[in-house]
Every structure is written in structure tokens, then in C-alpha cells.
Amino acid sequence: MAVKQRAFQGTLQSALPGIEVTTVGRVGDFDRALKGRPDAVLTLPVVLNARGLPVSVRGRFQGSWSEPYVLLASDVAPELVNVQRVGALDLLGRDGTNAFIAGLVGARPKAERVTKVEDLLPLLQLQRVDAILLAERLVDGLRLASRLLLTERILKTKVELPAAASLSAAGAHILSALRELPSDVCGALGVDEWD
């Protein structure tokens, strides 16, 4: 299962001594944090690109810059043509997240947006969606948290792993520290090295 926001903020803060770390879970909070002129930001490249921020450091896992995403459903693997409602993390606001989903599934299902990974599973349990969209690496955690028989369809299009943008002169120091993060912290981000 994914790490909770506050817990992850504490983990990052401990791993980056001398650097003030703030984590956010909502698109609006991210935009407000940007107005506060942080020295660097760490998020998915799709989020950086949507705000015109340069990718300064990219995460890799086992030599790859991207990871597979899946549609996860109850009982039967979802057929893309039959999925009309999809639950997904709200990465880019309503329109941006809808476009992100469409780019991955090749259709425009109705999106049910949530702010936390753990909020995706109830969407399936309550049958509010036909499937949920998430990184494949998060599936096992949801399986452990559910009594549903969860089945997945791996999507052809992959999503780039987390990246960081330096937004000030002090950002270079932060990116250097990011490259030295312990393996368990990197693992929580889905990466094993930074370039």
C-alpha cells in the first residue's frame, strides 16, 4: 500500500536534513505551494510538464524511466471498450486528469478522482467505478487490503517515474541530496536511482 502523505513527509524530512520538506495531496495545494516559490519540487513528470516546469532529475527503476499502469477491477480483468467509469488519483485537476486517463486507456471514461491511493479501493467496493487506474507496483498493497478478487489489465502506455525540478539556485543542493536518498525512501517513490 502507498505511504500516507504525512508519514512520507516525515520520512523525507528525516532523509533530507537541513531541507524543509512539504508534501501535498491535492492539486490545489500543489499550486498554492508553487506560489510560495519552493526551491525544488518532486512529482510525476506529467505534473511538471502541465505547469511548464523543467525536469532536472529523473527517477529510474531497474534501468527504466517509466512504469506500467493498470486498470484494476473486481472479479474479471476489465476490457477497455467496456470501462465507462474509472477511479484515479487526481494528478492534474478535472480536465487534466481526464486527459491523462484518456491517454492511458484510449477512451474517455467518466473519471472519479480521489486524492489518496487508499481511496481508490472503496470506489470498486461500492461499485462507483468499473475499474481503477494506478501504477502496477501499488496493486499488491490493494490486494492485501481487500477481500475482493482484484484482476488487472496492464496498459500499453507507461507513465514516467517521479522527477524533480530545480526552481532556484538552492534547488541544485536539494537535487544533489535527492540523489543520495536511502533505498527505502527511493523505493516508496517507485525508483531505485536518480539521473
The residue extents of the domains of the chain are 5-63+161-194, 66-159
- Which one-letter amino acid corresponds to residue 148? L
Cα end-to-end span (Å), the chain: 26
pLDDT the model gives residue 193: 95
- What mean pLDDT comes out for the span 113-126? 94
- What mean pLDDT comes out for the span 111-118? 94
Which grid coordinates belong to 41?
519540487
Closest to 103 measured CA to CA, from 163, 46, 28, 152: 46
- What mean pLDDT comes out for the span 107-133? 94
Cβ neighbours of 98 (radius 10 Å): 18
- What mean pLDDT comes out for the span 132-138? 96
Measured distance CA(193)–CA(186) in Å, rounded:
7
User: φ and ψ at 179, to 5 degrees?
Assistant: -65, -20
24 close to 167: Cβ distance less than 8 angstroms: no
% residues pLDDT > 90 (the chain): 89
What is the fold of 66-159? Answer: D-Maltodextrin-Binding Protein; domain 2 (3.40.190)
Mean of pLDDT over the chain: 94
Measured distance CA(96)–CA(90) in Å, rounded:
9
% residues pLDDT > 70 (the chain): 98
Closest to 107 measured CA to CA, from 77, 82, 78: 82
pLDDT the model gives residue 5: 83
- Tens digits of residue pLDDT in 159-191: 999 999 999 999 999 999 999 999 999 999 999
- What mean pLDDT comes out for the span 97-104? 95
Binned at pLDDT 50, 70 and 90, residue 2 comes out as low
Measured distance CA(164)–CA(177) in Å, rounded:
12
pLDDT the model gives residue 25: 87
110 close to 188: Cβ distance less than 8 angstroms: no
User: φ and ψ at 190, to 5 degrees?
Assistant: 85, 20
pLDDT the model gives residue 1: 43
Cβ neighbours of 66 (radius 10 Å): 15
Strands in 39-144 per DSSP E: 40-43, 57-60, 66-74, 85-89, 110-114, 131-135
Cell 505534473 sits at which residue? 47
The whole model's pTM is what? 0.91
Is 83 a residue whose pLDDT tops 70?
yes
Query: Residue 73: beta bridge partners?
Result: 151
